[in-house]
Structure 1
């Protein structure tokens, strides 16, 4: 960011002052300026979203979070974008955050059909049109949210001006197990599970638990990791454990489908790959990049970064934040100076 950056007063994440700034500046902003709202899905669920409206004509950054995430996890990004004069909104996908859960165990990460996520996002986008009007919009998405955003942008009419993908889930990390074998286990397990009334966790998965920082594979920033975990400890209703067999089955299908639609997306797409990602596989991301024939597609790799790019150290996080701002600030000028377009 430039020397005129409006967030330059925020301490570096490795500074002892970062957590105090988060608690004394960002959390109060969230509690007083960010609002909660709800909408109904086609199948009758109630979904939550959070939003900050900077002004009537401010461009809007819309966030499609990853699995286990809630809007609360993006408190820092909400505050940062607000300093640039931007509005922000983030959905809690079905089955997580403050949205309705899908099994009798609220810790299970579950979905019946991955396309439900995509249909929900289409309804969410309609909600935002009512709330924010026709302001220019940028779509930022992470991990599972990237799969949702990709399928949405490829298959629905929309008014987003650009799509930014953060470590998108375009293939599943199998931990050294051959992909075909992992897929077979998931498919067979999901099929058997459908004979029973209650979804099962995938092998080895369990309810939410707070892992020690040294055991996490999400971020290398202790300060951001602790802020995230402390937030989920303070609001246990946000906690989500491992995925079910059916979630993984649907995620595999959706990831494979998302690899084949990049050229159906008619807006600029920037894909950020985390170079040291241990959560999603690079295979699908590179496959998407190889299939992209449009000049509006860009692949960027942040070497050394873990999966949660917006929760990472400043050095890994900065390129992503810079791209969100740079792609959205021109929209601010357009919305304020329509006669000069």
Structure 2
């Protein structure tokens, strides 16, 4: 029996009546008692929040770069699971979201002035971790927007990470029936007008945080994980975030295209997981990256039928990604 399978055996399945009590009695207690919250000041004076668990002075470290709207709080279950494996874990709340400082007059707006600010923040966060954890082996796990940040960072900075795992990375954004070129032109025009004429605007149809019923969500098939995530956000109102601004969307589209071009410059092993039924980010960008990577080792795996939030998904979709995080990190111990 391998270590990754043991994790699944240590907790009930997400579709059983026992799972909510497991989360309350095991995961939440672990988070409250063993996870540390910390802040540091970014290059421009913005206060950034992160959370970490230190298993031991020599334990390998899994670092999480979350997606848009996410906070370290959303990864409580993953923290607990990796702790059971003897790993340390840390996650950053990107600027403008989670418990980090917001960037506009309306704290619900998902906004950034320049996407490279996210990348520079992540570099500074990594420096913070060097002080806390030293030179222990490090795996970088990134989701969605965090995958864009992690890709640009690993391609352009000297860094300590030995493995990069990308979960449904934002290498292109889903635009539905609107052609990508047209969507990009509309976003660019709106961002330009907005930048020079007024305070940041929400993109068309976007607004403040709203609790979306499970039946209407496109993030996960797991009702109990979804309900738990929403409960956390309802109880900690400071992490609530609404839709993106014009400028966030313009910067995100530009950064996603940049990440495609830079991906082949990454020199560490990369594992890319595509969510087979993703309605948030487009599969096209991920396929372009997979096609252009010419070095080894690079692995591309599709989780057929899965929605966008792979680490919030039901067990059958989530477990292969969790197994990979554990197995890739465990390899670092013996390397």
Q: Say which SS state the counterpart of residue 5 (structure 1) adopts.
A: helix
Distance across 2 between alignment mates of 1:332 and 1:111: 37
Verify: 1:324 aligned to 2:330, yes or no: no
Distance across 2 between alignment mates of 1:73 and 1:184: 33
Distance across 1 between alignment mates of 2:132 and 2:8: 27
Cα distance, 1:7 vs structure 2? 4.7
Q: Say which SS state the counterpart of residue 231 (structure 1) adopts.
A: helix
| TM-score in terms of structure 1 length | 0.96
Q: Say which SS state the counterpart of residue 43 (structure 1) adopts.
A: coil
The equivalent residue for 1:179 is 180
The equivalent residue for 1:5 is 6
Cα distance, 1:6 vs structure 2? 4.5
The equivalent residue for 1:306 is 307
Cα distance, 1:123 vs structure 2? 0.1
Distance across 2 between alignment mates of 1:173 and 1:6: 33
Is the contact between residue 7 and residue 83 of structure 1 (CA under 8 Å) also seen in structure 2?
A: no
Extract structure 1 runs of 4+ deviating beyond 4 A. none
CA shift digits 1:99-140 (9 cap, x unpaired): 000001000000000000000000000000001000000000
The equivalent residue for 1:38 is 39
The equivalent residue for 1:19 is 20
CA shift digits 1:153-189 (9 cap, x unpaired): 0000011000000000000100111111111110000
Is the contact between residue 103 and residue 199 of structure 1 (CA under 8 Å) also seen in structure 2?
A: yes
The equivalent residue for 2:204 is 203
> Which moves more between the two structures, 195-204 or 302-311?
195-204
Mind listing any 5+ residue stretches in structure 2 that lack a counterpart?
Answer: none
The equivalent residue for 1:269 is 270
Distance across 1 between alignment mates of 2:252 and 2:288: 17
Distance across 2 between alignment mates of 1:252 and 1:297: 24
Mind listing any 5+ residue stretches in structure 1 that lack a counterpart?
Answer: 335-341
Distance across 2 between alignment mates of 1:249 and 1:125: 26
Q: Say which SS state the counterpart of residue 140 (structure 1) adopts.
A: strand
| Matched positions, count | 334
| TM-score in terms of structure 2 length | 0.98
Is the contact between residue 274 and residue 305 of structure 1 (CA under 8 Å) also seen in structure 2?
A: yes
CA shift digits 1:230-281 (9 cap, x unpaired): 0000100000000000000000100000001122100000000000000000
Q: Give the superposed CA RMSD.
A: 1.0
